[in-house]
Amino acid sequence: MTDEHTPLSRREALIGAAGLAMFATLPGVSKAAAQTSFVPSFEDPVDAMRAHVKLVGTLGNGEVISFYRINLYADLHDGNFIPMYTMNNLLIDKWETRDRHNRQMIKYEAGYYSAFDSYEPLSTFTNPVTKEALPIQNFRLGPVPRGYSPERFVVMGFHPNPLPLEVIGDRVFLATQSIESRPSFTDPTQTTYTNSFMTYSATLADMQDEQLPSAPVHAQLQNKTHWQHWMKMGDQPGGSVARGFGGKVASLDALPPGVLKNFEKLVPEILDTANWKGFVSESTVVE
């Protein structure tokens, strides 16, 4: 057993392993059932941090690829949300172990927009107020550094707040929230508000597997943000609401059919992060 690849403390791991071995020898008890009978504690800050990293990335070194389908709605502050389009969101995260207590990740992210709940790429967006057809600007973000330690998580000036890890049934859940404000990148006289929420879950058996540095996850996200400048919403109250789902994928070849080709055509930078040119975001890129 190595400290490097387990989110549990050595004491918990040894106690759990001993109990698991005894319980698994009982008639009719499978190894998987035995694992779910010994629920880990995440009260220790180091154990909690390592479990967090195992869920969102990897306790090892290297690249983690994730893919999300994000449905976006217009909130006009009047009546129901209006479905607008879907973002196909690809994340390339490069993880590095500093020591047992510190991890660093550099995130590269891109997305192309498709018709709502479809994979068909869009080249224009219909303004929900004026009904004007406008060119779409596909999404790019990065590189964004993230630091993980038992004391805090830092994301390029933001401080997302991870809520306590929970075990429900045979799964471990991690919810995070970022409710913050800061001056706008493009207009420092204006305030940008962040309301972003993520939930990750993995099987308890995977989280207890000390040989598995990165747990396969189911993930969901919700956020509320300002109108993007290319939407030309002017002084219209409200903003965009996002609702997404996805998880890690083993490789780019594991993306849904057609998605990789669309990234190659529409936002190829995400497939060549070694040659990514400086920091970019929706506020800095104009197509």
Q: How many whole angstroms separate alpha carbon 208 and alpha carbon 215?
A: 10
Considering only residues 7 and 39, tell me which one the structure prediction assigns the higher pLDDT.
39
Q: How many whole angstroms separate alpha carbon 110 and alpha carbon 269?
A: 8
Determine the distance from the C-alpha atom of residue 281 to the mean position of all C-alpha atoms in its chain, rounded to a whole number: 17
Q: Given this model, what pLDDT does residue 157 score? A: 61
- Identity at 1, one-letter amino acid code: M
Tokens representing 72?
């976006």
Tokens representing 123?
């080249």
Q: Given this model, what pLDDT does residue 190 score? A: 79
Q: Given this model, what pLDDT does residue 156 score? A: 72
Residue range 155-165: mean pLDDT, rounded:
78
Q: Given this model, what pLDDT does residue 66 score? A: 98
* Residue that is written with structure tokens 């969102």 in the block: 56
Provide, rounded to the nearest whole percent, the portion of the chain with pLDDT above 70.
Answer: 83
Considering only residues 195 and 1, tell me which one the structure prediction assigns the higher pLDDT.
195
Evaluate if residue 240 carries a pLDDT over 80: yes
Evaluate if residue 54 carries a pLDDT over 60: yes
Residue range 8-32: mean pLDDT, rounded:
41
Evaluate if residue 28 carries a pLDDT over 50: no
Considering only residues 194 and 95, tell me which one the structure prediction assigns the higher pLDDT.
95
**pLDDT band for position 14 (50/70/90)?**
very low
**pLDDT band for position 62 (50/70/90)?**
very high
Evaluate if residue 33 carries a pLDDT over 80: no
Provide, rounded to the nearest whole percent, the portion of the chain with pLDDT above 90.
Answer: 66
Give the chain's mean pLDDT.
85
* Residue that is written with structure tokens 């400048």 in the block: 229
Q: Given this model, what pLDDT does residue 249 score? A: 98
Q: Given this model, what pLDDT does residue 161 score? A: 81
Q: Given this model, what pLDDT does residue 254 score? A: 97
Residue range 117-145: mean pLDDT, rounded:
94
Q: What is the pTM of this model?
A: 0.84
Q: Which of 112, 78, 74 is nearest to 231 (CA)?
A: 74
**pLDDT band for position 39 (50/70/90)?**
low
Tokens representing 236?
């219209």
HSE-CB at 110 with a 13 A cutoff on CA atoms is 21
Q: How many whole angstroms separate alpha carbon 157 and alpha carbon 114?
A: 31
Burial level of 257, CB count in 10 A (0-12/13-18/19+)?
exposed
